[in-house]
Structure formats: C-alpha cells, structure tokens
Structure 1
Amino acid sequence: MIIRVLNLGQYRFDESHMDNLNACDDAVEAAVAAGDQEALTKALKTLIDEIQELGTPLPADSLEDSDLIIPDADATLADVQELLEGASAEEGFIPGRGV
C-alpha cells in the first residue's frame, strides 16, 4: 500500500500495521467532529509519525499511485473536512473502521 502525506512524500506501508493507523485516524475524526483545531493538529502529527515510523519512504521521483492521501499536520479543520468529504466519511482517511 502506498500512502501519500501531503508536502512530505509517499511511503510504502505494510497493511499489517493498519490498526495503528486506524487508532490515529479515530483521533483525527474525533477532533474534526469536535471542531478542535489543537486536537486535530496533534492527531495529524501522531498519524504522520506512525506512517513515517512504520512505512518506508519512496524516492521523490517515484511515480506510483497513492492508495491513501493524508493531509500534513498544518491542515486546518476546513481542509480536513473537505478532504474527508472526498473520502468515505464513515471511515475517515484510513479504511477499516470509523469512530
């Protein structure tokens, strides 16, 4: 699976770690639902840290399609709400379960 983190690049990610990402994604969804920008920023940083820790970065010149796209940690509530509308809103950014 290829995950793109906006403004950071792409990471090859083993699907066996999806539970880690789902827990982080739940926190992102909860922050958006609460309208809490501070909590959103913290949750996005945690999600991105997990992706970077557990994933393998792809070269900058790689042309692989991304399976998932995650906003950067500086994304606003409005940015994330817009991105979630394009994704399956019940599942957040990471498929598998929602809050």
Structure 2
Amino acid sequence: MIVRIMGEGQLELADSHFTELSELNKLDDELLAEMEGGDEAGFRRTLGALLAAVRREGKPLPEDSLQPSELILPAEDATLDEVRDMLSDDGLIPG
C-alpha cells in the first residue's frame, strides 16, 4: 500500500502492516480514542508514534514518483481539528 505523510512524501508498506491486530491499527485506535476524549498530549504522542512506525516499516518512494496514495496521513504538527477532519468512522487507517 502506498502511504503519503503530508509534507514528507510517500512510502510503500506491505498489506500485512494493516491487519486488525497490527501495530498501526492499534495506534490508530488509540489516536481515535484520544481525539474523542480531547486528550491533546495523548494525541501528540500517539500521532508521533504512528508516523514513526510508518517511517520505520515503510520503504520511501523516490521524490519524483507520482504514484497514487491509498492512504494519506497528517503531518506530525497537524492540529487535533485538522486530523479530526481527516478521520473516517474507522480512524485514519481503514479496517
């Protein structure tokens, strides 16, 4: 799956990183709960951890690559309201 982190670029991650029990989905669930509870500190920590996991597990695509992104994640400095606007019922990561 091609993932874009806004303001950074694209990474390719294996589909196995998006299973129901994966680290990314667990972090996404935490992020959703923190947002719903208005936990700004938890939101910052978990968003950073989610993006760090994507960077660690993903393979960066060349900067001149124009592949369509299947998933778009917010920049690390995105506000709680900006991320809230990006959410689906499942959080940032579908599934």
TM over 0.5: yes
SS at match of 2:75: coil
Give runs of aligned pairs for residues 1-99 of structure 1, distance below 5 A: 1-18=1-18, 19-84=22-87, 89-96=88-95
C-alpha deviation, 1:52, in angstroms: 0.6
Q: Hey, what's the Cα distance between the residues in 2 that align with 1:82 and 1:95?
A: 15
C-alpha deviation, 1:39, in angstroms: 1.0
SS at match of 1:27: helix
Percent identical among aligned pairs is 40
Q: Which runs of 4+ in 1 moved over 4 A?
A: none
Give the aligned CA root-mean-square deviation in angstroms: 0.9
Q: Hey, what's the Cα distance between the residues in 1 that align with 2:61 and 2:13?
A: 10
Gaps of 5+ in 2: none
CA offsets per residue over residues 68-93 of structure 1, 9 Å max, x none? Answer: 00001211111011111xxxx22111
SS at match of 1:63: coil
Gaps of 5+ in 1: none
